[in-house]
């Protein structure tokens, strides 16, 4: 549970949008964290970011 608390603090302090932060935090900030839901949301956020970066010809994942 301590690792989840650290993850929550890292999410709160990261440079994601407030909407993305809230999406991730909703999965973790309860008595029974939804780890699978968190991972799904995290992957979707990363995928959107990847597609957004490709619009500017920035490709960090296909090196």
Whole-angstrom Cα distance, residue 49 to residue 58?
11
Question: Which positions ≥6 away from 14 have C-beta within 8 Å?
Answer: 21
Report the predicted TM-score, pTM, of the whole model to 2 decimal places: 0.74
Whole-number percent of the chain with pLDDT over 90: 60
Whole-angstrom Cα distance, residue 61 to residue 40?
18
Whether residue 63 has pLDDT greater than 50: no
Sign of the C-alpha dihedral computed for residues 38, 16, 23 and 8 taken in this order: positive
Write down the domain spans for the chain: 1-55
Interval 21-37: pLDDT, tens: 999 999 999 999 999 99
């Amino acid at each position: 549970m301590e690792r989840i608390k650290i993850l929550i603090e890292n999410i709160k302090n990261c440079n994601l949008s407030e909407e993305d932060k809230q999406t991730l935090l909703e999965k973790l900030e309860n008595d029974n964290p939804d780890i699978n839901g968190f991972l799904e949301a995290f992957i979707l956020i990363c995928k959107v970011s990847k597609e957004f970066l490709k619009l500017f010809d920035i490709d960090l994942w296909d090196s």
